[in-house]
């Protein structure tokens, strides 16, 4: 009997030793097989295995595709487009994020992922947008328009369609396309122009602005915070934000000196000479309330405590600190910045905000105050565009509303069968320039508006009933044959 026990213990010890080795071998075999499959894809430029920093996945790869710069001229110029892959199996669903911007280092160094791959136990693919970061056709040209000719919504959507269809040869189960903000916009574009690319589409907080759109500024002055705080407290918060803005406008000379110098502004920031620092400051302070409600990162008590301070030079510096805490540095309006391609797309197709001072002036008037601003009503759009774009670009970039009209027509088409779940937050200023929500729409287009959500709203922010409804719907669609 003792001899049998000893043999059993030996077998158990051997199992304890060998099992992790088998698991490790299994992971290595999967990673190696994935490498081979990726290498075999059309237009593949490079495949690099990275150190996996997210335990939810088996391995991580960074790959590049050789892509046509202009899909209407596919044999001419090309560029390399970057894709990050977090994988665990070939036969499970895959979530692809259409990022809309650059893929930050956090995707590699921090094992960053979105909520859907975790909630649904899927692979995760993230596609960097053309003209951003490492997916650019040469050094950016901030002065001439011709460099940006191929940065179109159509070309970007064809990038996404091609890359996803290639990767579907590797990951063979169903695919969900998702994206946030501009990424949500391009998710809607893919769903409407190339609906067969993925099986399901989940755009978060996707904007759909007109050419110059002022609708969010009415919300900011009249109703922002009402759903979050209630109408009485909501108005109090709006008034407190306004009082802070008024203080800044009244002390703009001192604040301009601070905000356009280090440490508040980096020394390599470049601003257009066609506008003054005062013009930039005024638009930046109008945007203060926009960013406050968009992200709600700044606690309103910070402003309340500020408003109690005596007027001193130290108070001016404190105001500058609060502007930075709210993520409203004047650097947002420098032209040599990583997000510049967004502004190109906005002017050409996606639509821009109209920084309209009408509502904040009315809001101030209701408090018996006036605002010290340098921009007349007639100058608002001109000053903004000259602040962002060069003279050559303003002359040659021509706005087209074709994508806007297409998306409005698409959402109103009751015959559409595409499976779409749209996530929005009603306390997000971008909601007020989002896609229409007609009662009569495609039977599989579902829209969920979080009553107090902002631009960071997630499915997991909803109450249990709504959250479970969304997840059950996604799982039902994923399990359909």
Lowest mean pLDDT among 5-9, 250-254, 275-279, 377-381: 5-9
Residue 111 above 90 pLDDT? no
Per-residue model confidence (pLDDT) at position 24: 55
Nearest in space to 279 (alpha carbons), one of 391, 389, 382, 142: 382
Which tens digit of pLDDT belongs to each residue from 220-245?
A: 999 999 999 999 999 999 999 999 99
Q: Is 187 exposed, middle or buried (0-12, 13-18, 19+ CB in 10 A)?
A: buried
Per-residue model confidence (pLDDT) at position 19: 44
Residue 16 above 50 pLDDT? no
Residue 179 above 90 pLDDT? yes
Residue 22 above 70 pLDDT? no
Q: How far apart are CA 214 and CA 110, in angstroms?
A: 37
Residue 54 above 50 pLDDT? yes
Phi-psi region of 282 (alpha: psi -120 to 50; beta: other; left: phi over 0): alpha
What average pLDDT does range 431-460 have in this prediction? 96
Which tens digit of pLDDT belongs to each residue from 382-417?
A: 999 999 999 999 999 999 999 999 999 999 999 999
Per-residue model confidence (pLDDT) at position 407: 97
Number of CB atoms found within 10 A of residue 458's CB: 17
Model confidence at 25, pLDDT cuts 50, 70, 90, reads: low
Q: Is 318 exposed, middle or buried (0-12, 13-18, 19+ CB in 10 A)?
A: middle
Per-residue model confidence (pLDDT) at position 13: 54
Q: The tokens 């669903």 sit on which residue?
A: 93
Model confidence at 53, pLDDT cuts 50, 70, 90, reads: confident
Three-state SS for 397? coil
Residue 295 above 50 pLDDT? yes
The answer, as to whether pTM is greater than 0.85, is: yes
Average pLDDT, rounded, for the chain: 93
């Amino acid at each position: 009997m003792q001899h049998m026990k000893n043999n059993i213990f030996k077998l158990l010890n051997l199992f304890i030793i060998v099992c992790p080795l088998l698991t490790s071998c299994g992971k290595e075999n999967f990673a190696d097989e994935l490498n081979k499959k990726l290498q075999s894809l059309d237009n593949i430029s490079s495949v690099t295995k990275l150190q996996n920093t997210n335990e939810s996945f088996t391995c991580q790869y960074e790959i590049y595709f050789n892509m046509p710069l202009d899909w209407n001229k596919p044999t001419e110029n090309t560029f390399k487009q970057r894709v990050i892959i977090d994988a665990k199996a070939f036969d499970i669903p895959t979530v692809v994020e259409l990022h809309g911007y650059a893929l930050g280092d956090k995707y590699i160094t921090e094992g960053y992922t979105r909520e859907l791959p975790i909630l649904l136990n899927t692979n995760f693919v993230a596609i960097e947008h053309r003209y951003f970061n490492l997916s650019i056709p040469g050094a950016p040209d901030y002065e001439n328009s011709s460099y940006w000719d191929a940065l179109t919504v159509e070309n970007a959507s064809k990038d996404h369609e091609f890359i996803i269809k290639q990767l579907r040869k590797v990951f063979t189960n169903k695919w969900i396309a998702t994206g946030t903000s501009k990424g949500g916009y391009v998710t809607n574009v893919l769903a409407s122009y190339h609906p067969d690319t993925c099986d399901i589409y989940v755009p978060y907080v996707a904007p759909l602005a007109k050419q110059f759109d002022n609708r969010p500024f009415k919300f900011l002055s009249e109703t922002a915070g009402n759903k979050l705080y209630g109408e009485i407290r909501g108005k109090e918060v709006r008034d407190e934000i306004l009082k802070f803005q008024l203080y800044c406008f009244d002390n703009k000379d001192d604040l301009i000196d601070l905000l356009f110098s280090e440490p508040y502004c980096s020394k390599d920031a470049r601003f257009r000479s066609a506008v003054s620092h005062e013009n930039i400051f005024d638009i930046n302070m109008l945007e203060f309330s926009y960013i406050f409600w968009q992200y709600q990162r700044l606690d309103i008590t910070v402003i309340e405590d500020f408003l109690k301070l005596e007027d001193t030079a130290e108070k001016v510096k404190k105001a500058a600190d609060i502007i930075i805490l709210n993520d409203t540095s004047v650097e947002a309006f420098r032209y040599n910045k990583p997000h510049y391609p967004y502004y190109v797309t906005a002017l050409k197709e996606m639509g821009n905000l109209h920084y309209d001072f009408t509502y904040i002036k009315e809001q101030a008037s209701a408090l018996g105050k006036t605002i010290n601003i340098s921009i007349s009503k007639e100058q608002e759009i001109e000053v903004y565009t000259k602040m962002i774009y060069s003279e050559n670009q303003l002359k040659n970039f021509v706005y087209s509303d074709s994508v806007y009209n297409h998306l409005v027509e698409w959402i109103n088409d009751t015959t559409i069968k595409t499976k779409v779940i749209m996530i929005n937050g009603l306390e997000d200023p971008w909601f007020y320039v989002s896609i229409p929500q007609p009662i009569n729409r495609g039977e599989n287009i579902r829209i969920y508006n979080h009553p107090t959500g902002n631009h960071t709203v997630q499915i997991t922010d909803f109450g249990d009933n709504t959250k479970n409804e969304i997840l059950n719907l996604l799982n039902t669609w994923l399990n359909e044959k």
